[in-house]
Chain A
Amino acid sequence: MTNLTQAQVRERIEKRLASRHRKEKLFRGLGIASIAFGVLAVVILFSDIISKGSGAFMQTAIQLEIHYDAQVLDIDKVDDESLAWANFSGVIRQALRERFPSVTSRGEKRELYTLVSSGAPFTLRDRLADDPELLGKSEKVWFAADDDVDTFVKSLKDSKEGFRGRTSEQKAGWIEQLLDSGELKKRFNTTFFTNGDSREPEQAGIRAALMGSLFTLLVTLALSFPIGVAAAIYLEEYAPKNRWTDLIEVNINNLAAVPSIVFGLLGLAIFINFFELPRSAPLVGGLVLTLMTLPTIIISSRAALKAVPPSIREAAMGMGASRMQVVFHHVLPLAMPGMLTGAIIGMAQALGETAPLLMIGMVAFIVDVPAGVTDPATVLPVQIFLWADSPERAFVERTSAAIMVLLSVLIVMNASAVLLRKKLERRW
């Protein structure tokens, strides 16, 4: 073996070279294949969601010639009391009858009235409240169409027949008439971004859930980040290594793997039943999610602290810094990017959580947009869940649209984390 000539060694190596190159290529190919698979899955997911959900950003609207007739409205001046009392649906019905004068029978009229959304009178009320001068005058107003009409009109582009469903032949005829004359159009759906939940798909919006998520995450961040970082600093920089700290470490690692519904039960027992905090409030939601994200933040913060080289600590000590000065002036700023990454991962996890919120009443129908952390609220994933469970067809596209909103919030969060990290890193 030892007395091989150089030529022989070379020959042997060259023989194996081909197979080594093959293996190398195979390994690289596998890597590319797995990335391609991942990308493909993401593309399929996104294209499915976007193709289903993009429809929700447009809403069918119907234009009607509205005459603010004081007699039909049954008011003689515009003030808060008379606005609450006024018969706005009467005005809309009159406008519909005038548009389709051939409709006379009671049953047909009832059907005619279902062309526009049941929220239309409130649109009119707001217009009149904004401009009391309108009383007695006429104007053309766009109203959101009923969700059955909306679904029918949107399905027309897929097939000529369209999804008739609950829409009768006669109603479909009216809709086509309005379409031809340009009095029925798809317009950008602002309602989706300004309203809370509603049982009528055309009036349902994401705003309340978005604000609920925001408040919940604010509470979570405000509590879990300082507590998590403080715990990590103590465990990493101060705590002696003994059985107790080992026990604590095992428990923290354990808690990170506990199913999230358990935290919900804990939240129900402690925050709501014992401390009597209000149900369905982002405050309680934030507290529960804090419990859930704390282990993640503590573990990643400790890892970040560990990654700071001991030479930095020793140098600072050598210059006469106290322990606290070492931590706050030198170690913490260096570890901050890693801690932020951990915090963002924890927050993203909290943003997508529904199970623990079920127990504390945040899986709920919320119409009013919450204004603070104690107002009843729901969060984005819960809104998605509730819409996915609704029978109305028009909620299918709204479900996908809500998923798109949730994904964009996540992208913004992650992007800002990357930016923040880069900025902090540059200083050092």
Chain B
Amino acid sequence: MNKQILATSLAALTLATSQVAMAARDYISVVGSSTVYPFTTTVAERFSRATQFKTPVVESTGTGGGMKLFCQGVGESTADITGASRRIKQSELEMCNGNGVDVVEVQIGYDGIVLANAKKAAPFELSRKDIFLALAKEVPNPNGSETLVANPYKTWKDVNPALPNTKIEVLGPPPTSGTRDAFAELAMEGGCKKFGWIKAMKKKDKSAYKAICHNVREDGAYVEAGENDNLIVNKLVANPNALGIFGFSFLDQNADKVQGSLIEGQAPTFDSIADQSYPVSRPLFIYVKKAHADVVPGIKQFLAEFTNERTWGDEGYLTDKGMIPLPQEKRQQIATDVRKLNALSNLAAK
């Protein structure tokens, strides 16, 4: 019996090693943001059905993790494409270029970030200033002087008398999430800028300005609820006094349970995000490794499928998945640029 075990395991081993020897990657490997993941996977699936290519393998690693894998270098064991829920950072671009990776940037659409609460509670009407005052770690002194104090606000009414007298309790993603980065940048910084003297700091001391605007309070009013947006939706239903931060597609799918708060008078809807009147929306990108475009079969065709009108257009199938399309002119511009595969050299040249 023992001989049998040994023999079978040996056979399995030799089989395994012989298969490795002939492995040359014939499928596209995609890594990156969990926000872009639903869209890349949808395109990957349609692409493989419409063509003879194998289905691309899409990993959900987070924006930062994806960049690291992507920028590791050129070669079969590295990813071909990475998705990002924010633009590539200068430091990441340098890391890429340092490892001999030329990247092609493709903006694919927008994603709205919503602040929502349970449907059985009254909807909130917030301004970005309210959001900043309610969630920042340090806020301008309420007495009007140009100093900072630890956030003293306990209820929404303290922040703005027009808001209800309920405890501030916001469930949102942890700092590792791209959604959190985008929320801090768009919603909180947007409100933070309303204070003239803080805005003036931006020129003098950028990092201090960023610290004031992006730091979220840690006294329990902001609850880190993990990366799973479905979990946040369920927690909101259980706790009607709380607000939650998540992506628009989750609001779209759970419209019977939660409602989006109005921000600057705008409700988060497909149209208000598309025409940019809803203020908290962010661009989504994919980055392509130029050197792989001719090596790994199907990359060019995959990009063609991605930038096709029936995919990312106003009525394309990605809109069904909750992605907000770019304006048509921009789409045409990007689609022609992608065909040329121009590498991104620095961030200013866009």
Contacts and interface: CB of A to CB of B under 8 A. Distances in A.
Interface of A: 110, 118, 122, 163-166, 197-200, 218-219, 222-223, 225-226, 272-273, 276-280, 283, 328, 332, 358, 361, 363-368, 372-374, 376, 386, 388-393, 396
A166 B269 CA distance: 13
Nearest to A203: B45
A280 B57 CA distance: 8
Contacts of A110: 315
A328 B2 contact: yes
Contacts of A225: 5, 9
Contact of B16 (A374, A376, A391): A374
A391 B61 contact: no
5 contacts: A165-B255, A222-B9, A361-B29, A365-B41, A393-B253
Interface stretch (B147-155, B244-252, B277-285): B244-252
B246 to A, nearest CB: 9
Contacts, number: 118
Contacts of B9: 222-223, 225-226
A364 B57 contact: yes
A162 to B, nearest CB: 10
Given A165-B253, A366-B57, A376-B27, A389 B34 contact: yes
Contacts of A278: 20, 23, 25, 76-77
B49 interface: yes
B269 to A, nearest CB: 13
A129 to B, nearest CB: 14
Contacts of B89: none
B347 interface: no
Contact of A226 (B6, B37, B48, B60): B6
B60 A368 contact: no
B342 interface: no
Interface in B21-42: 23, 25, 27, 29, 31, 34, 37-38, 40-42
Contacts of B5: 225-226
Contacts of A163: 256
Contacts of B77: 272-273, 276, 278-279
B229 interface: yes
A391 B228 contact: no
B5, B20, B247 interface centre (most CB from chain A within 10 Å): B20
B12, B29, B59 interface centre (most CB from chain A within 10 Å): B59
B48 A367 contact: yes
B254 interface: yes
A166, A279, A363, A372 interface centre (most CB from chain B within 10 Å): A279
Contacts of B103: none
Interface in B213-267: 227-230, 247, 249-250, 252-256
Contacts of A165: 253, 255-256
B292 to A, nearest CB: 14
A364 B59 contact: yes
A199 B45 contact: yes
Given A367-B45, A367-B48, A389 B228 contact: yes
Contact of B322 (A366, A374, A391): A391
A218 B77 CA distance: 24
Given A278-B20, A373-B19, A391-B229, A223 B13 contact: yes
B252 A122 contact: no
A372 B12 CA distance: 11
Nearest to B46: A118
B86 interface: no
Interface in B192-222: none
Given A199-B321, A367-B48, A386-B60, 8 more contacts: A198-B45, A363-B61, A364-B60, A365-B57, A366-B55, A367-B44, A389-B230, A391-B38
A367 B230 CA distance: 23
Nearest to A273: B77
A120 B40 CA distance: 21
B176 interface: no
A392 B25 contact: no
B170 interface: no
Contacts of B58: 364-365
